[in-house]
Amino acid sequence: MKRILFLVSSLFLLTACKSTLPPESSYTAYDILFGRDYDGASFQFFEMITEESEYQMLLKDPIISPYLKPNDIQDNNFILVNLGEKPTGGWSIKVEKVKILKDKVEVVIREIPPKGMATTAITTPNFVLKIKSKKPIDIQIINPGK
């Protein structure tokens, strides 16, 4: 019984002393601020938002603005990604890699097709990515079958 109490108290002490991460995922190079299957553009594109004037567009969007601070553009860049019009539901976008290098940021995004049966509704998946750096961005979108 004394051994069990010793183990439980030791475990409690170790977990109580463990450092905790802040609620924001500040230890990653990026955050996905918003993503949805509809309301994107009908053609595939990405737009890098690096300047204050461009950033105002995001601040005015009622869906995205709750995730932003007015001065976020001073330390971060943003990427708006649209997959374009897709003939079915189930399409998604996955961030494969965001790597901050000495002189730039490499971003690789993968287009994921639906698995199995999918709805026949036309969708336009899109998302906004916050890159925690002001370095120039090299972006690559990997499309299946291309």
> Which pTM value belongs to this model?
0.75
User: Does residue 16 form part of some domain?
Assistant: no
For 29-53, the pLDDT digits (tens) are 999 988 888 888 898 889 999 999 9
Total of domains in the chain:
1
* Residue 53 resides in a domain: yes
Inside any domain, residue 8: no
> Domain range for residue 53?
27-142
- CA dihedral (59, 30, 136, 82) positive or negative: negative
Q: Determine whether 58 is exposed, middle or buried from the number of CB atoms within 10 Å of its CB (0-12, 13-18, 19+).
A: buried
50-77 residue pLDDT tens: 999 999 999 998 888 999 999 999 999 9
DSSP element (H, E) containing 65 = none
Has residue 61 been placed in a domain? yes
CA–CA dist 40, 82 (Å, integer): 6
